[in-house]
Structure 1
């Protein structure tokens, strides 16, 4: 065997199985398509599950891939050991009812021993305990020494996940030598030590389990081979772990150059280098496939990886943003196999930079707070860090619970995650009203009812009228033979001009008539079998399965949708022209009223930018560009520069919509044939959707006129309210009123100050002596948060030994403010800790600096009890 680079190994493997009649497919995106069971693709076979189950016909019965994967089950261990990583590539060769053991086993051996030239005496094979067929093939057909075959039980060598396809497997191990052995007499293949490395696994899916212990054989068994590319590279390059593999090492060396720390300098810094290296690899690939940072789901995984990497950068002494700089090396090392990384480079780098900058604004404060709270826990002899304090760090200061747990673990502490989860659940229940997407469930079960119905022939690109035949009628989710006036039904035709909702474009509406019935079509969708589902109300007569019908789309509505959809394409091109090529579509909704376009960008658009975008779109509309829709091979479309939807997986043939030389996109929607037919384009709003995602809403055609009429009406109404005869004078009148309001605010502020002074004089007189400090504790009805702050400022100015705990209630809202003067601070008083304990007694929470802090409460009726406890809280603190 000879040293072989990771990228070369990938190509050698795929080329070998192409020579065996396999179709090479590109890696599927990390975001699973039509599979809600997975957050991210985590194995080579995961995106092809429907090929194995027969739900979807594979492009060929023999397929080979190198699949990018993310596994997040043990993020906490990444870096701690050299074994763990979140990103990896899985090589695979698959048979969907074609070849089986007699081909898969010899090919595996041939590749290992003839192509890679791995030494035969270093290779070991495992098989399932009862799989004599595999044993005979290995011994009699391949010629392997029986002494190098190990039989293992169901736990190790039988793949089964509930019911469905399952079967035994056979693995190939590489013996790295006695120097890696654990030294135990039982050390051998299957041992947990580092001597024997499993790198090839062939699963023989030959049974169909019913989940109850019955395993009838499958009529057409499958082959699912998985081999970790990183692990194979370790063997071929003679290194101990994936972080020493050539492409990964190049990434780490870039990090070392930035940090000034080399791998091997110390065990502690090695952990940080491994964390950063792995997490940057993962984030680059995730963003490249369309994952956006968020606080939920896969977006949270991305954010968590970025923040963990940023924190370890700080542990290595780097306090500036730097992860985005490393992204270029990740892209360079992988662009040959994954060209989409280079295509999305601007987007990847900018998003990483913005996310890291956002985190850096809070991380230093959060680190200071968490270390302070941990110090208190350790001093008190505790072993468990408070879940309430972990929640405060997360909720108030944006410090992630994962980092809190990691930092606590470094100091030998655990976190009360049960309390944290309870508080987080309460917060979510308060903050988020339950939402249910009724549309998602409305047509459940239709796929089962329509089994065997051929896909609908869609002819709606060129016409809005068609004649067809009723193939199926569904009523209340069940198949039926007829429907009469008053019924709500779903109708499937053999051909239709009705566009089915997809790609962000809403479905068509219209009418459907047979000789005996009239139906109003209220919406159109389609299922995975490409049956177009016309959701309709029977207005008159009776419709029967098999009837011939005339179906006509609501033309005025469709034309308005087409104007908006074509304008969405022009909008994306204009945004990229004005803002940069990092702009990618992140979602859209196109209906007859407006276009809603979501895109990747990291700050609000200025008025000047919005005007430039709007002017660009209108310039192309007035130019009267011809809009062409063509189907072509995907590679040809890419050469033409057509934009693909971020993170979307396409087939070998795509539909490309082009508006002159200005815009070219992959799209299956309906469009005007000339930009001039859009009429006019007007942006009506720009807003934030999520971190790094902005939204523009705009109108076209007649909707622009309606929008302008609405604005004119609102201006006239505002002029009437402000007693202005001419709407043109509104700005002058608004400035006048603003000046008057500022003067009133100044007067109010002055009055509040005088009120605070009057109240404070009486409070000073009643201060109590508590453990060497004087304490003022009072509830003040009618005092808002601003008044409380002013009173606290007076406390710190009045006397150096004062502690004030003041509560105010206004309009049913309660606030607590605490101030500690200079001498009181020296004696141990801490405003942030005092306010936290006092507020907790009234169902609230908060914190702040040692000299000044604020908190809110949920139960104003408990304020008296909370204020009364202040004396004891302060006394305990200043002892």
Structure 2
């Protein structure tokens, strides 16, 4: 057994199964395609579940892959153990009704003992306790001595998840030697110690479970095998954990170089080195597949990984951003197997840099909030809820919170914190799908099993077609009468099925005595579904109809789709090549284009983009559409949709010789001149690092001009401006006048409030030697309230004041405690928070001054009346 690099191991495995007539498929995207049961791909079989269920015909009955996977269920353990990681690669060979146990076992043994030259005496297969067939193959055909065999129970060696396909497993273990053992006499396969490590799992999918514990043989028996590439590399390289595998170790060495901290120096630093190394791998691959940071779903997973890595960089003493630099090493170590990482390098690094900079500000916010919580604390025990909020919302680690609190002589309510963490984990566990097992759940739609529809809509607006199926209420029916709402499947159609951000076509299906209005068109696994209402006659399976598009609507959609391509090309020229499509909607009204960028576009940038697109339109540039092998498309520089999975042959849409080249299956105009004109309507933020532009073309531009011209005319009339060109000047004058009036009113209100302050003090209540004042002041804004609080703090005697002001329909609370009152234990932040909560609001601040919002203004009087009692409570009186 020779030392073998991870990249070489991957290639050896795939080449071996290609020699066994398997089709090598590239790794599927980490974003599940057409599968809502999974957040991220987390097993080798997950992307191929429809091949196993028979919903989709596989490209070949024998397939081999190396699949990128993300699992974050044990993220808290990553770094603290040597074996946990969020990113890994899963090697697999799959049979869809082709070979079964005999071949799967024989090839696994051949690969280990002949290709990798693993010592046979180090290998220990296990089988399900009742699987005599697998036992017999291992012992009598392969020749494994029974002393190296192990029968295990259902929990270990039987794969199933509720009802559906299931079957026994056979796992192969590697004996790492006595030094990893527990020393017990019965130590062997199945022991909890680290001596025997499972490296390959052969799953024999041969039964169907009806959910009641009854098992019947499947007509089509399948093979699903999985072997973790990093775990195999650990064995082949003789290292103790995945962080010492060559490609992963090179990333960790880069972290050490940046931080000046060597691995193995201290356990605390080793944790941080492992966290950063693992998380940057996940981050690079997730962004490479189109995942963008956000506050929900897979975007939240990415953000959490990025921030956890950045935080551990701080713990290592790294000041400033560094993760983008690490991304280069991740890409270099993986570019041979995943060349798309090199193509997306600029985008990956830009997104990481932006998110890391954003988190630097968030960490500062977390520190500020921690200090606020400390000021508001009523005892030496820091709230577990506050510690959880800091951890969950701001990524603020508990150990850092504890360290800061210890300096203040405080401790955290860790029991409550861990209770909240357990509740969160339970929620996550309930939501998390189990390594692809739930991929077996669900039934195919009524269209499953039908032949793929032939699409003629690239060249035709009307086609003769045969009705293949009529679907009503989710069930196939033979016919549907007038008024019925149905989905119609045709053998041929010019109707585009919604995909790639382009909406589905509408139109009519007609024949003699028959008419059905098509409202929308969608696709399901290559089958086009025409959502229609029968308006005349009866629509039946076998009918021949004319499928006629709403050609005016289709052409408007095509204009907007071609505009989307021009827009992306212009954005990349004006803003930079980090711009990638992050979402798109093209319909007959407008184009909505989402793209990766990290700040709002300036007016100058928007103008430059708009002019560039219109320049291409006015040049009347030809738009060419052609199919070609994917590698040829990449060579000519065609852009692929971020994170999308493509086949071997792709359709490329080109505008001119070099302005725009994109992979695209949508419909387009054949010349840019047919777009008419292009006008940007709006530019906005969609998510962190993602911007959105909405624009119109053709008749949409005329409609926009009509609406805007009418709005300008009505505004001019309302402002009594005869010449609309004078509107900007008049608007600025009016705003200045209003601002001056607001300032004058605020100043007068402050003077009135100040004049009344002495009267308020005369009505102050004495609470344990503290003058407690409170008042409701209508027409008083936040600036006036702040001024009143400043005057209250100037008093010599102990003073606690709470003022409520109402201005512009908004109610604000302000509290002040002067130095004498603070010495007695009062804190303005805690006081104003409790008063605000009585109105349904919230807030807080410093011990001397704080403000809050009042939600229910009808409860202000009641809340202010409670101030003396709240002061008593805070004093402990």
TM-score, normalised by the number of residues in structure 1: 0.91
Contact 2:292 2:302 in 1 (8 A): yes
* Secondary structure in 1 matching 2:844: strand
| Greater mean deviation of Cα atoms: 531-540 or 295-304 | 531-540
* Secondary structure in 1 matching 2:653: strand
Q: Which residue of 1 aligns with 2:385?
A: 387
Partner residue of 1:519 out of 504, 516, 521: 516
> How much does 1:572 deviate?
0.6
* Secondary structure in 1 matching 2:394: coil
> How much does 1:150 deviate?
1.2
* Secondary structure in 2 matching 1:11: helix
Give 1:543-582 correspondences, 5 Å limit: 543-582=539-578
* Secondary structure in 2 matching 1:513: strand
Separation of aligned partners in 2, 1:419 and 1:794: 43
> Structure 1 pair 840/378, CA: closer, same or farther in 2 (3 Å)?
closer
Q: Which residue of 1 aligns with 2:655?
A: 659
Separation of aligned partners in 2, 1:163 and 1:544: 36
Q: Which residue of 2 aligns with 1:261?
A: 261
Q: CA offsets, 1:509-530, max 9 Å, x none?
A: 22332111233322222222x3
> Structure 1 pair 295/281, CA: closer, same or farther in 2 (3 Å)?
same
Q: Which residue of 2 aligns with 1:23?
A: 23
Q: Which residue of 2 aligns with 1:598?
A: 594
Q: Which residue of 1 aligns with 2:715?
A: 718
Separation of aligned partners in 1, 2:305 and 2:496: 41
Q: CA offsets, 1:426-466, max 9 Å, x none?
A: xxxxxxxxxxxxxxxxxxx9964445543322111111112
Contact 1:501 1:507 in 2 (8 A): yes
Q: CA offsets, 1:667-691, max 9 Å, x none?
A: 1111111111111111111111111
> How much does 1:368 deviate?
5.0
Separation of aligned partners in 1, 2:376 and 2:858: 31
Q: CA offsets, 1:357-388, max 9 Å, x none?
A: 11211212313534774798896457xx4437
* Secondary structure in 2 matching 1:729: helix
Matched, 1:610 2:606: yes
Separation of aligned partners in 2, 1:222 and 1:767: 83
> Structure 1 pair 408/79, CA: closer, same or farther in 2 (3 Å)?
farther
* Secondary structure in 1 matching 2:667: coil
> Structure 1 pair 176/672, CA: closer, same or farther in 2 (3 Å)?
same
> Structure 1 pair 587/55, CA: closer, same or farther in 2 (3 Å)?
same
Q: CA offsets, 1:685-718, max 9 Å, x none?
A: 1111111111111111122122122222111111
Q: Which residue of 2 aligns with 1:439?
A: none
Separation of aligned partners in 2, 1:171 and 1:485: 59
Contact 1:446 1:478 in 2 (8 A): no
Equivalences, count: 851
Q: Which residue of 2 aligns with 1:430?
A: none
Matched, 1:157 2:154: no
Partner residue of 1:458 out of 455, 458, 472: 455
Q: CA offsets, 1:806-865, max 9 Å, x none?
A: 234567754322223344445543322332333334433222233322222444444445
Q: CA offsets, 1:104-141, max 9 Å, x none?
A: 11221222122222222222221111222222221222
Separation of aligned partners in 2, 1:325 and 1:539: 62
Q: Which residue of 2 aligns with 1:643?
A: 639
> Structure 1 pair 536/367, CA: closer, same or farther in 2 (3 Å)?
same
> Structure 1 pair 792/378, CA: closer, same or farther in 2 (3 Å)?
closer
> Structure 1 pair 133/483, CA: closer, same or farther in 2 (3 Å)?
closer
Partner residue of 1:753 out of 738, 750, 755: 750
> Structure 1 pair 718/339, CA: closer, same or farther in 2 (3 Å)?
same
Separation of aligned partners in 1, 2:564 and 2:76: 43
Q: CA offsets, 1:526-551, max 9 Å, x none?
A: 222x3322223333344333332222
Separation of aligned partners in 1, 2:824 and 2:317: 35
Q: Structure 2: any 5+ residue segments left out of the alignment? A: 404-410, 425-441
Contact 2:845 2:851 in 1 (8 A): yes
Q: Which residue of 2 aligns with 1:123?
A: 123
RMSD value over aligned CA atoms? 2.7
Q: Which residue of 2 aligns with 1:431?
A: none
Q: CA offsets, 1:620-646, max 9 Å, x none?
A: 111211111111111111111111111
Q: Which residue of 2 aligns with 1:850?
A: 847
* Secondary structure in 1 matching 2:215: coil
Contact 1:657 1:666 in 2 (8 A): yes
Separation of aligned partners in 2, 1:177 and 1:80: 24
Separation of aligned partners in 2, 1:711 and 1:503: 31
> Structure 1 pair 399/769, CA: closer, same or farther in 2 (3 Å)?
farther
Contact 1:772 1:878 in 2 (8 A): no
Partner residue of 2:483 out of 486, 489, 495: 486
Contact 1:842 1:862 in 2 (8 A): yes
* Secondary structure in 2 matching 1:216: strand
| Greater mean deviation of Cα atoms: 34-43 or 762-771 | 762-771
* Secondary structure in 2 matching 1:314: helix
Greater relative contact order structure (CA < 8 Å, 6+ sep): 2
TM-score, normalised by the number of residues in structure 2: 0.92
Q: Which residue of 1 aligns with 2:429?
A: none
Contact 1:101 1:204 in 2 (8 A): yes
Contact 2:391 2:397 in 1 (8 A): no
Separation of aligned partners in 2, 1:673 and 1:471: 32
> How much does 1:782 deviate?
4.7
Separation of aligned partners in 2, 1:218 and 1:160: 14
Separation of aligned partners in 2, 1:50 and 1:575: 38
